[in-house]
């Protein structure tokens, strides 16, 4: 079950994301410790772990928001430090629900998000129309983001990540803080993305990972403790043992 982290990527051919010896320290605290990981194009990949396991740190290293202390992480062969524009063009990033501008209206926000990614004119309008239709935001276009429910905010968040049609979508705790109905709403959107583009889902919800991902990596205290097909990794008697940092055989 604890297959080499790059085996599945090798089977599919090509690598969307590759981390080699990826390490990130915050002072004496090691948030990510020598992570080796390969994610194949088109794969629905889950990044699991308890709070503080290093999931968000990994995502921030991929997007270039943070720099690694050691090792490298590449997106389609590019690092965010060397080619930030190339990496940002390939990534659609969905942060947690609160990371929006509450004073902006949905339409205005989408126009900003598209413009900030270099879209303009008829292409921008076409992409906004497509996003609005896909995430069913027609009735919310003129409402301020701060007046929307968290579920709707998360749909706006997903819509903005799709505007530039990126091949890789990174979703960080997409259902955190949502009620069960809103969680299902967001999950159904993510289910529809499987196979369409590379999806990295960062979560501590095992059910969500089972439902939405093909392969998962489990992090504990910054270390990779398991990596493999989702069903295999999470099929053990006590999958939470992985979260506690016990090795793969515990699961």
Partner 1 sequence: MTALRALLRKELLVLFGSPMAYVALTLVVLVTGLIFFDHLRLYNQTLFLFASSNMGGFESDTVPDYINLRDTVFFPVMETLGITLIGLIPLVTMRVFAEERARGTDELLVTTALTPAQIVLAKFAVTYLFVTIMMLASFVYPAMAIIEGGIGAQHLASVFVGLSLHAIALASIGLACSAYTSNQLVAAVAGWAVGFVLWDFSWLSSFSFVGERSIAFLDAISLHLRYGSFAEGIVNLGHLVYFVALAALAAAIARFSFDWRRVAG
Contact string 66-95 vs partner 1 (x = CB under 8 A): xx----------------xx--xx-x-x-x
Count of residues that bind partner 1 according to CB under 8 A: 34
Contact string 132-171 vs partner 1 (x = CB under 8 A): ----------------------------x-----------
By the 10 Å C-beta count (0-12 exposed, 13-18 middle, 19+ buried), 2 is classed as: middle
Closest approach, Cβ 118 to partner 1, in A, equals 5
Nearer to partner 1, 8 or 161 (CB): 161
By the rule CB under 8 A, 174 interacts with partner 1: no
Determine contact, residues 94/73, Cβ cutoff 8 Å.
Answer: no
Q: Which of 30, 50, 104, 193 binds partner 1 (CB under 8 A)?
A: 104
Closest approach, Cβ 99 to partner 1, in A, equals 4
Closest approach, Cβ 56 to partner 1, in A, equals 10
> Distances from the Cα of 55 to the Cαs of 45, 121, 172, 227, in angstroms?
12, 37, 9, 14
Instruction: Provide the binding-site residues for partner 1, judged by CB under 8 A.
Output: 24, 26, 60, 63-67, 84-85, 88-89, 91, 93, 95-96, 98-101, 103-104, 108, 111-120, 160
């Amino acid at each position: 079950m604890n297959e080499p982290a790059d085996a599945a990527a090798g089977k599919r051919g090509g690598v969307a994301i590759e981390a080699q010896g990826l390490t990130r320290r915050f002072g004496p605290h090691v948030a990510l410790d020598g992570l080796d990981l390969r994610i194949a194009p088109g794969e629905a990949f889950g990044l699991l772990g308890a709070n503080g396991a290093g999931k968000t740190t990994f995502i921030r290293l991929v997007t270039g928001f943070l720099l690694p202390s050691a090792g490298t992480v590449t997106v389609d062969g590019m690092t965010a430090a060397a080619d930030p524009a190339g990496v940002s063009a390939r990534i659609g990033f969905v942060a947690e629900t609160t990371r929006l501008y509450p004073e902006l209206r949905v339409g205005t926000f989408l126009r900003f998000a598209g413009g900030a990614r270099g879209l303009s004119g008829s292409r921008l309008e076409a992409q906004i129309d497509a996003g609005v239709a896909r995430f069913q935001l027609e009735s919310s276009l003129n409402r301020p983001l701060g007046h929307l429910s968290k579920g709707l905010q998360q749909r706006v968040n997903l819509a903005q990540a799709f505007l530039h049609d990126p091949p890789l979508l990174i979703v960080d705790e997409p259902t955190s803080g949502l009620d069960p109905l809103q969680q299902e709403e967001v999950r159904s959107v993510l289910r529809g993305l499987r196979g369409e583009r590379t999806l990295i889902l960062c979560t501590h919800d095992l059910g969500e990972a089972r439902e939405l991902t093909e392969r998962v990596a489990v992090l504990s205290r910054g270390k990779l403790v398991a990596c493999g097909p989702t069903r295999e990794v999470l099929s053990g008697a006590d999958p939470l043992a992985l979260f506690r940092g016990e090795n793969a055989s515990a699961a």
